[in-house]
Each structure stands twice: as structure tokens, then as C-alpha cells.
Amino acid sequence: MSITWNICLLNINPAEWYPLRQILVYPDALVMNKPEFMGGVIQNKVDEQIGEVVDQNTPDFLRGQLTAFGQYIQKVSS
């Protein structure tokens, strides 16, 4: 049986993200490597009191990331 995984990793901590990417190589998971999102200073981009993103570049970048992931899925599915 063959399973196809299309994976886009979004993570705050690169120390957690890179080992996960390495693990996913073993089952031949198709991992979108670029563009990457690493929100290293996320505490400056989110207002914890209201739970909203206050840095406008972050949602714009995430929209671009999800658009790129959709295109990636189309590419690897064809």
C-alpha cells in the first residue's frame, strides 16, 4: 500500500522543526522545503491579551505560505 503525504511545516522553534524534517525523509514524505516560516520573535507579533496578530507582515506571509503549499500540492499531485 502506498501513502502520499504532502507536508508544510510551520514552526516557531527551528530546533524542533529540523529533526521533524529529517524524520519525514525516511517514509519518503513530500515536504515543502521553501518558503520556510520560522517565527522566532512571535511574542512581538501577537498580542497575548486579545490573541490577535498585531504585525501585518505575519498574516501576509502566512497567506503566501499557504498559497505556495497549495501550488506545491498541485505540482506533486500531477
pLDDT computed for residue 1 by the predictor: 47
- Gap between the Cα atoms of 70 and 74, Å rounded: 6
| Domain range annotation of the chain | 6-77
Per-residue pLDDT at 71 exceeds 60: yes
Mean pLDDT of 38-53: 78
Give Cβ neighbours of residue 38 (< 8 Å, ≥ 6 apart): 11, 12, 14, 17
Average pLDDT, the chain: 75
Mean pLDDT of 68-76: 85
Listed residue (33, 34, 52) closest to 42, CA to CA: 52
